[in-house]
Amino acid sequence: MSQIFDALLRSETERAGNNPIVQAEATELLRHVESQTAANRACVALLDRHDPENDGAGNMPFDKETAPAAADTFDQSATAQRPSYDERSNALNQFQSLSATISPNSRLVSLTDKESAPAEAFRLLGVRLRDLRQTRPLKKVLITSSTPQEGKSTMAANLACALSHNSGERVLLVEGDLRKPSLAQMFELGHAPGICEWLQGANDLRASVYHLKEADLWILPAGRGPADPLRLLQSARLPLLMDELSKTFDWIIVDSPPILPLADTSVWTRMIDGILFVTRRGITEKKQLVAGVNALDSRKLIGALLNCSKSTVYSNYYYKSSSVA
């Protein structure tokens, strides 16, 4: 996470001005977060070497010399369990298609400004995710942040659009934030029924998942949230839903609630393969960064992304991805 460390350090330095004491405290705290995350990953790698048959999460241990063989084994296993082309096509044909309205002023740069630097950054992120799953199972990716207003929903939507663009892959965007959903509004879908109605048994899956023609991806919106979203998420139906969707789609991008102070994200993390952690320049505070990193499962944390960096002319909207685990 060295790049995100450097970016946040610059942000804290600018905020502190010329106060050397505040700058020193910010530097020390950010270094502590980075070193702690690195130590956690080193510990996981050490456990993998001692127990090569089971890493506690069902993932194949990574070793530079055996990585090609591991990738071959995973590919063969995935192919054996993957439904046939006809089966997947039939499953997709059951979902209704919608014509989403994409405003030119929206932040969906992967659709509205495909030649821009931000759109290219999302395509690069997609390439890196595809590279990662050559050595580990990676289909269900969770996008989260420490607190609200850090850009996780916009990040999730743009990543899903970038993954589906001219790739031939079936990409599903899941609106997992049942408390303050924003994806349906982003695509101007109105109050379309979705995951809440399905979990409560009010709708079947055919009436909950939609194909967005303009983006060439599918979306499972939140729908109308209940009074107690956490209780609904803890339903035994949710793991069954994710397993069923995994049979049909190549990628499932989940926009989850922020980590702090809600417990909703911990429910989602049990069902996904990897986590992307979003921070935002000028918004994410030091203590929030520390608490957010500590709350994540280090085995599933695959990268961190910085929103609103000033290192580009796109000062209001730019993301920079860190090195991935």
- Coil, strand or helix: which one is 116? coil
Task: Indicate the class that CATH gives domain 85-321.
Answer: alpha beta
- Coil, strand or helix: which one is 304? strand
Per-residue tens of pLDDT for the chain, all 325 residues: 444 545 545 554 555 455 554 445 544 544 554 455 444 444 433 334 344 444 443 443 334 343 334 334 344 444 445 555 556 667 787 888 887 777 777 889 998 898 888 899 999 999 999 999 999 999 999 999 988 888 899 999 999 999 998 888 999 999 999 999 999 888 888 888 999 999 998 888 888 999 998 888 999 999 988 888 999 999 999 999 999 999 999 999 999 999 887 789 999 999 999 999 988 877 777 888 888 888 888 899 998 888 776 655 444 444 444 444 3
β-strand 210-212 against 217-220: which pairing, if any? antiparallel
Q: For the chain, what is the radius of gyration of the CA atoms?
A: 20
- The span from the CA of 99 to the CA of 165, in Å, is 17
pTM over 0.85: no
- 3-class secondary structure for 171-201? EEEEECCCCCCCHHHHCCCCCCCCHHHHHCC
Which residues is 277 bridged to in the sheet? 144, 304
DSSP string, 121-190: HHHHHHHHHHHHTTTS---EEEEEESSSSSSHHHHHHHHHHHHHTTT---EEEEE--SSS--HHHHTT--
Contact 141, 132 (CB under 8 A): no
